[in-house]
Amino acid sequence: MRFWALYQREMLIEFRSGVESFIPLVFFLLVVGTFAFTLRSFISGDARVLVAVIWITTLFTSMLSLDKLFKRDHADGTLAVAVLHSEAITATVVTKLVTHWSVTGIPITLLGPVVGLLSGMHFDHALMLGFTLLIGTPTITMLGALVTALLVGLGRGGELLTVLILPLYIPILLFGISVCHLHIESASYTSELLWCFALLTGSTTAIPLALGPVLKMSQDS
């Protein structure tokens, strides 16, 4: 119940900001569009290029909104209160993660395959792209949130965050793209898909637990 109330509050804040809540989506479409237009001769011949473009843009979009993940709660002191109680901090953290995923992950998961279909991708391949994004976006949110939590309150976001996170994103990116590519080439992709699931389960179980202590540390200093 507590979680649901917190989630509603977070989502309400997200959508109260009006046009601003569409920035990640517009960014996603803008970057995919720029890539697709400049690489159009490659994309029309090979669906694998578009898959890679959509996956990479997903990473960028996710990073873009990470910066503000804990910023407001740190500024108004919510975080300082929440870290005093382990149950409270866990609830806060899980809500934050789910909200971030709802605002960036879910729309991209839906939008990615649509962009693929509109650019002439085969329906099955677009479906697989959506499926890998569904597995990949929560993992991306988790890893990003962990690194963001390390930097809470330092007044340093942006490019520093990007440099720290991008190397950690490489496995999920490559496995996600691999699954789609192997599927397009009608080869077996079971092991790559299992790796994606392994990364998903590993990050979703370990990171929410680690975030509490990390955030507590950020409030001590």
Partner 1 sequence: MKFIPTWLHRLASPQHFFGDIKSWIMWLYVLGTIGFLVGSVWGLAFVPPERYQGDSFRILYVHAPIAHVAQLIYISIAVAGVVHLVWKLKMADVYMSAAAPVGCWLTALALASGMIWGMPTWGTAWVWDARIVSTLILLFLFFGLIVLRRVVPNPTRAATALSILAIVGAINIPIIKYSVEWFETLHQPASIELFGDIAIAPVFLTPLFINIASIYVLAAGFILANMRYLVVERNASMTWIQGWIRGQSQ
Q: Check residue 192 for interaction with partner 1 (CB under 8 A).
A: yes
Q: Check residue 217 for interaction with partner 1 (CB under 8 A).
A: yes
Q: Name the minimum Å distance from CB 27 to partner 1.
A: 23
CA dist., res. 98 & res. 96, Å (int): 6
Q: Which of 182, 184, 200, 215 binds partner 1 (CB under 8 A)?
A: 182
CA dist., res. 151 & res. 68, Å (int): 11
113 alpha carbon, distance to own chain's centre: 16
Give the CA angle between residues 31, 117, 180 to the nearest 5°.
Answer: 80
Q: Which of 135, 143, 145, 215 binds partner 1 (CB under 8 A)?
A: 143
Q: Check residue 56 for interaction with partner 1 (CB under 8 A).
A: no
CA dist., res. 70 & res. 80, Å (int): 11
Q: Which of 75, 156, 194, 201 binds partner 1 (CB under 8 A)?
A: 156
Give the CA angle between residues 190, 194, 197 to the nearest 5°.
Answer: 145
Q: Name the minimum Å distance from CB 23 to partner 1.
A: 26
Count of residues interacting with partner 1 (CB under 8 A): 30
SS3 68: coil
Question: Do residues 124 and 130 make contact, with C-beta atoms less than 8 angstroms apart?
Answer: no
Q: Name the minimum Å distance from CB 175 to partner 1.
A: 5
Q: Check residue 168 for interaction with partner 1 (CB under 8 A).
A: yes
Region binding partner 1 by CB under 8 A among candidate stretches 72-80, 97-105, 111-119, 139-147: 139-147
Q: Check residue 12 for interaction with partner 1 (CB under 8 A).
A: no
Distances in whole angstroms, Cα of residue 126 to Cα of each of 20, 71, 156, 170, 182: 28, 35, 37, 22, 13
User: Smaller CB distance to partner 1: residue 94 or 151?
Assistant: 151
Give the CA angle between residues 35, 37, 42 to the nearest 5°.
Answer: 80
Question: Do residues 145 and 96 make contact, with C-beta atoms less than 8 angstroms apart?
Answer: yes
Q: Check residue 79 for interaction with partner 1 (CB under 8 A).
A: no
- What are the structure tokens assigned to 69, written together? 């993940």
Question: Do residues 125 and 117 make contact, with C-beta atoms less than 8 angstroms apart?
Answer: no
Q: Check residue 154 for interaction with partner 1 (CB under 8 A).
A: yes
Q: Check residue 209 for interaction with partner 1 (CB under 8 A).
A: no
Q: Name the minimum Å distance from CB 19 to partner 1.
A: 32
Contacting positions for partner 1 (CB under 8 A): 143, 146-147, 150-151, 154, 156, 160, 163-164, 166-168, 170-171, 174-175, 177-178, 181-182, 192, 195, 199, 210, 214, 217-218, 220-221
